[in-house]
Amino acid sequence: MKNKSTSKYGKREDSYIKRAAGFAGNIKAVIVGVFMVFRHFFRAISMLFRFLFSGMGQMRDQFLSLFRFNITFKLTLGFAWIMFLFVNIFNFALILSIRNIAYENEVDGLRKSVDLVIAEFQYESMLEDRPSYSYLSDNGVEFAVVDEESNILYSNGFSGIDKVGTIPDYSHRYFDLRFPKWIYRKIRIQDSITIVFRSYMGDSVNMLQKTFAILSVVSLMLYVLAIALAQRMSKKHLKPIKTMTNKVMHISSSDLSTRLDIRGTKDELKDLASTFNKMMDDIESSYEKQKQFVSDASHELRTPIAVIKGYANMLSRWGKTDEEILEESITAIKDEADGMQSLVESLLFIARSDKDTLKMEKEDFNISELVEEIARQTKLIDGSHVIEESIQDSCTIYGSAEKLKQAIRIFVDNSIRYTPDGEKIGISLKSTSRDVIISISDTGIGISKDDMAHVFERFYRADKSRTRLEEDKKSSGSGLGLAIAKIIVDSHSGMVHVESEIDVGTCFTIIIPKTSA
């Protein structure tokens, strides 16, 4: 029996556990479902707010654009606002001063009347003789003698006293523009007798109101005048900007010669116009150089292309049967292709320099060995000139050996090209404490003074050099060599000096720091 009851209770416990687990599962499902509902709800709300805020941002920008006024309006508004503040402060100070002066005058008059009445009261029995005191009424001063119950025992026109304690005594407030109609003064002469004085302020109030009205009209006229003058002055001072804008609008790539007129101006706009003119000078110069660069590059490429086309036509006509023409054509096409490749590489080198993407691997190296190698190679390939060398030993610098060799080779080739056969070409190297100095000199045809300023320009070749060595094959070149050499020297924080004289010779001096920046 005991085992049966135990199994019975065990089954019940199992059923309870299963029911509890099922209930817990249902609760969990409900919680997860509610969580998902709220999650999607808040996600939808956030998306709605994003949409609204993005739309509101556009509406806000459109709304704010309505208040983006021109500079003339802003300056006029600013000047008018400053004028408004100045006039109002002036009016406030003036009205306050007039009010205080009038108030002090009234108080002073009331004080004198009080002193006079009190003096007479000491010698006369006011309650018995009852003098008229008409002179006080003429001055706008009234008084009354009252007892402790505020009963009027005597007055010269004063009436309407309910309680003496409620009557305010005069007090002076400097920054209060309000003006009371009456000012009061109370004097207790006996334990049960009080004299109450008051002075009428109506005339001062009327005077103050008239003054305020006059100042308001004058201020309004000043506002209108200030706005008109500010607008006129703003337009006058901003007229040069409008002129600049109109001129700038007419600038195009076909006409970069437009400049802003700076005559007669001495303010900041002159500096702006001068800066703009300088910028336009630089842009026009760069644009003209670019046009010249494209024109010269096209011209330099046109010649080898024409030669290649000519030899290609020869090959198509006679090259199949004539081996001599075939060999000549192939050699010429290869030479022209090599020339075009060299020209394109030079153009790419200059383009990288213009974009500041030119990279050079620099390291410490012995430049004396480099210059000796160039001199030795020059003697091997050029037997028509006398090569003289003077090279200091063991000169070390930090730089790109490959690029400096290219630059020095360009200067040497330039001397070979423009030096007649049999003349001298000198290559020297010496060192100082900070720099190395490389000189390439020759006794060639020289460079004129007019051409000296342009020798490092791209595609530039002196006309006289062309005419004198026009038929010499050595004179042919792209006109980019010296420009490339100058770029290489500049990249090593160096300098190039040129000295030349017609029919005497030319000397290029290269100065390179031993430790480049």
Domain residue limits, the chain = 10-68, 70-245, 268-350, 359-513
pLDDT of residue 170: 58
Query: Is 120's pLDDT higher than 60?
Result: yes
Query: Is 241's pLDDT higher than 70?
Result: yes
The 10s digit of each residue's pLDDT in 401-450 is 988 998 999 899 889 988 988 899 999 999 988 999 999 999 988 888 88
The mean pLDDT value for 493-504 works out to 90
The 10s digit of each residue's pLDDT in 337-389 is 887 887 788 778 877 777 777 788 889 999 999 999 999 988 888 888 999 99
Query: Is 509's pLDDT higher than 90?
Result: yes
Buried-exposed string 3-21: b where 16+ CB fall within 10 A, e elsewhere:
eeeeeeeeeeeeeeeeeee
Q: Which residues contact 187 (CB under 8 A, 6 or more apart)?
A: 114, 118, 194, 195, 197
pLDDT of residue 448: 85
Q: Taking Cα atoms as reference points, which of 240, 242, 233 lies closest to residue 267?
A: 240
The secondary structure of residue 253, as a DSSP letter, is T
Longest dimension (CA), the chain: 162
Q: Which fold has domain 268-350?
A: Helix Hairpins (1.10.287)
Query: Is 53's pLDDT higher than 90?
Result: no
Query: Is 28's pLDDT higher than 80?
Result: no
| Amino acid at position 465, single letter | S
* Radius of gyration for the alpha carbons in the chain, expressed in angstroms and rounded: 53
Cβ–Cβ under 8 Å, residues 517 and 435: no
pLDDT of residue 59: 60
Average pLDDT, the chain: 77
Cβ–Cβ under 8 Å, residues 259 and 277: yes
The mean pLDDT value for 77-100 works out to 85
500 phi/psi in degrees, rounded to 5: -155, 155
CATH class of the domain comprising 359-513: alpha beta
| Amino acid at position 479, single letter | G
Query: Is 473's pLDDT higher than 70?
Result: no
Residue 122: how many CA atoms within 13 Å on its side-chain side? 5
Report the distance separating Cα 116 and Cα 498, nearest Å.
109
Query: Is 185's pLDDT higher than 60?
Result: yes
Query: Is 49's pLDDT higher than 80?
Result: no
Among 104-113, 177-186, 205-214, which is the least confidently predicted range?
Answer: 177-186
pLDDT of residue 496: 93
Residue 316: how many CA atoms within 13 Å on its side-chain side? 6
pLDDT of residue 127: 47
